[in-house]
Amino acid sequence: MIFVTVGSAAQPFTRLMDAMDALAPSLGEPVVMQSRLRYPGRNTECIDYVTFGRIQQLVSECRVLIGHGSTGPVLMARRYGKPLIMVPRRMEFGETVDAHPLEAAQAVEKKGSRMVEVVRDIANLEAAVRRAQAKADQGLTYEADPERERLVAAIRAAAEGREVPGP
Amino acid sequence: MRVLCVAAAGGHIEQMMVCLDAFAGHEVVFAHYDWPSFRDFSDRRVSRHVGIFLGGDGDDKMRLLVGMILSAFQWVWLLAWFRPHVVFSTGAEVAIVPIVLGKLFRRRTIFLETAARMQNPSGTGKVVYRFCDAFFVQSEAMLTVYGPKARFVGGLL
């Protein structure tokens, strides 16, 4: 199953949802999409309301995660070891009120992971989905991330009142 | 040690899910929005979770202010009942009242600026900066945006 989440934003993200609904029949597995705004999917199962537990369950059960390009999907994909395609919402299409999805996408690309791909032009989505499916078939996993371990250790040090180690 | 963790929905709660590892061996109470979608929240690292009323966000400052004043009663109750040694938050606006109150009650206060902010400060970060004992940002560029207290040791994205 391919799971698409565009979060709980008040702005629609039909650019991504239309593309996935059109692609779905050719992908060889079901596509489930979650958006706060109801979407009339023809080839996809669409849900508008999810609880915290349900979305964790959907991500853990999917083979490929497609996210709207903010922090939530990136961290969930890593938590459950799923290949991620990040499609940043864009201000010029009225998909977001600020540029934070693009900033997040840049940060993700800067760190770089074999499990994550950023798609800015929706025309590149199909090829990206097929690459992600291949990663799931091969059972690829995430690389270790020393930055994240440093940050968690620094928060622990601060909480326990110890000197916070430098970068 | 007792740690009160506070996070809004979406990316904030997912960042908290990573950071909870920092408190292994300590008792954690997790406060989130009082939305029905969090009723089925569960995590082995958390001994108890509570919903907090906020009823507004940074887009409507007036409503947010009223929500914060109302939520302050809940926070005072929570701080008095749990008596945390540490108040830790990954944002957003819901962090303001517990961090300010935490500082007032001389608890250790820690804030992690969201990974969605790589160049510009969040409204919440600007407010809570002065009330924090430790303040972490997730990119080097953010160090100059805040002040000498801000630390960058790594990012989650």
> Which tens digit of pLDDT belongs to each residue from A131-153?
999 999 999 999 999 999 999 99
Residue in chain A closest to B114 (alpha carbons) equals A71
pTM: 0.94
Distance from CA of A51 to the nearest CA of B (A): 4
| pLDDT higher than threshold 80 for residue A73 | yes
Contact predicate A150/B154, CB 8 Å: yes
pLDDT in tens, B106-119: 999 999 999 988 88
Q: Between A8, A49, A154, which is nearest B136 by CB? A: A154
Residue in chain A closest to B23 (alpha carbons) equals A156
pLDDT classification of A167: cutoffs 50, 70, 90:
low
Per-10-residue mean pLDDT for chain B, 157 residues long? 95 96 98 93 96 81 90 96 98 95 97 91 95 96 94 94
Residue B141, number of CB atoms within 10 A of its CB: 14
**Alpha-carbon B120 to chain mean position:** 18
Question: Which of A128, A132, A122, A133 minimizes the C-alpha distance to A16?
Answer: A122
Q: Give the Cα separation of A41 and B34 in Å (integer).
A: 30
- Chain A contact for B153 (CB, 8 A cutoff): yes
Distance from CA of A164 to the nearest CA of B (A): 9
Q: Give the Cα separation of B111 and B94 in Å (integer).
A: 12
